[in-house]
Amino acid sequence: MARKLVVKKSESIKPIPADIYQATLVQIEDGEAGFGPFYKFVFEIAEESTYQGEQRTLLASRKLSRSPKGGSKLLNILEALANNKLELEEEVDVDDYIGKKCRILVEEPQERDGIIIQNVTKVLTSK
């Protein structure tokens, strides 16, 4: 039996100014890529903003580690969401972070193949 699909154009997001926004982590999706498994963090901009309800995403490898040079991207995200430092050998459940408030640094929108892309470049502690 054939598995036929039709290529469709993805919907663009509404671009917003590059800035730091108050946000809430609303979802974490699992993914797999050439570099291995990752999490896709989905943040929603808070009510205090003109852009309330807009969502932006950030991908992070599932590597949770700390070295003399600093922490992994995932570690930095989770520490910002928790607003504290995670200890070595501490076990965490990433789903516990859903609903946490933070600030997100949103990059300038970019157009690729006619689609607007705009991601989070950094997660900061909530003020």
This prediction has a pTM of 0.87
Q: What is the pLDDT of residue 52?
A: 94
Structure-token pair, residue 16: 């917003």
Q: What is the pLDDT of residue 84?
A: 93
In the beta sheet, which residues pair with residue 40? Answer: 29, 59
Q: In this structure, what DSSP letter does residue 78 have?
A: H
Nearest to 37 by CA among 64, 57, 61: 61
Q: What is the pLDDT of residue 69?
A: 86
CA 2 to chain CA centroid, nearest Å? 36
CA distance 10 to 90: 39
Q: What is the pLDDT of residue 19?
A: 95
CA distance 112 to 126: 31
Nearest to 73 by CA among 36, 23, 27: 36
Each residue's pLDDT expressed in tens, for the chain with a length of 127 residues: 788 888 877 777 889 999 999 999 999 999 998 889 999 999 999 988 899 999 999 999 999 999 888 889 999 999 999 999 998 898 999 999 999 999 999 999 998 888 888 999 999 999 7
Q: What is the pLDDT of residue 102?
A: 97
Q: What is the pLDDT of residue 70?
A: 85
Q: What is the pLDDT of residue 5?
A: 80
Tell me the domains of the chain and their CATH numbers. 19-124 (2.40.50)
